[in-house]
């Protein structure tokens, strides 16, 4: 049985590659974190512990949701054949996951305040906008995940790849500017990752109390909004492509 499982796992080359890269990228990200620990973070006018805890809490909320529904691809196809709209399937499948993630945020925030002494400086308006942009990106990524998994019938290598690279380049554990010490200018490419925008907007909203009336903060939100529009368009195209491909190849509904 073990040999059979290994053969099935090994037959999906993208899955094998992602698993091996996850180990390498994970080690590298922790190495960078070790070099940066306990330094102040002037980008958000805060200390390292506050910066790190907010990043970890945010990632624990958005990454599981961005990986999309946990519905089996075959079941997903059958649901689609029932005539249900794609948007309803995506939002419905994420509903409980979102509620559960929101509930688990409460004890995490309390621990952050009372145990780690995180210095929250919250701007309510900016935080609401940050959450709206975050959820839009999460739903878009979930759509993309569904579109790919309905074709591969396994994990989605693209979303996993984005999450993998984000572990190093999105600023979850340390400021993205730290990457420039290893490869000058590479932090500019971090803005191609959705999680970079998510972590940045949340930190601006809850660590430095950034107001959208501040030109630099407003520019960040405007850039994130444009990025959102691009991701929505790409995700919708990928999901539509996945459905067309499944129908054309004859896999939809087990046929």
Chain segment 5-30, per-residue pLDDT in tens? 445 444 455 555 655 665 555 545 55
User: pLDDT tens, 27-79?
Assistant: 455 555 555 666 788 889 888 888 888 888 888 888 777 655 555 555 566 66
Give the angle subtended at the CA of 21 by the CAs of 97 and 230, to the nearest 5°.
55
Task: Give the residue, 1 or 250, on which the prediction is more confident.
Answer: 250
Residues near 215 by beta carbon (within 8 Å), at least 6 away in sequence? none
pLDDT at 138 (0 to 100): 86
Where residue 143 falls among pLDDT bands split at 50, 70, 90? confident
Mean of the pLDDT values across residues 200-207? 94
Mean of the pLDDT values across residues 225-230? 96
pLDDT at 8 (0 to 100): 47
pLDDT at 197 (0 to 100): 95
């Amino acid at each position: 049985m073990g040999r059979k499982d290994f053969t099935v796992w090994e037959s999906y080359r993208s899955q094998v590659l992602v698993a091996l890269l996850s180990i390498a990228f994970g080690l590298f990200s922790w190495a960078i974190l070790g070099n940066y620990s306990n330094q102040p973070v002037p980008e958000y006018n805060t200390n390292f512990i506050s910066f790190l805890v907010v990043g970890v809490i945010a990632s624990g909320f958005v990454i599981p949701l961005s990986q999309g529904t946990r519905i089996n691809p075959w079941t997903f196809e059958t649901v689609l054949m029932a005539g249900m709209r794609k948007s309803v399937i995506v939002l419905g499948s994420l509903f409980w996951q979102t509620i559960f993630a929101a509930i688990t945020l409460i004890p995490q925030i309390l621990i952050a305040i009372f145990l780690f002494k995180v210095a929250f400086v919250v701007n309510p308006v900016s935080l609401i906008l940050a959450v709206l942009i975050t959820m839009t990106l999460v739903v878009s990524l979930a759509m993309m995940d569904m579109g790919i998994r309905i074709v591969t019938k396994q994990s989605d290598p693209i979303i996993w790849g984005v999450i993998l690279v984000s572990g190093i380049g999105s600023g979850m554990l340390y400021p993205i500017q730290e990457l420039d010490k290893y490869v000058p200018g590479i932090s500019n490419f971090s803005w191609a990752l959705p999680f970079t925008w998510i972590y940045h907007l949340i930190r601006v909203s809850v660590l430095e109390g950034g107001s959208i009336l501040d030109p630099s903060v407003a520019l960040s939100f405007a850039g994130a909004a444009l990025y959102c529009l691009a991701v929505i368009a790409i995700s919708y195209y990928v999901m539509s492509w996945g459905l067309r491909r499944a129908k054309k190849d004859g896999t939809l509904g087990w046929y």
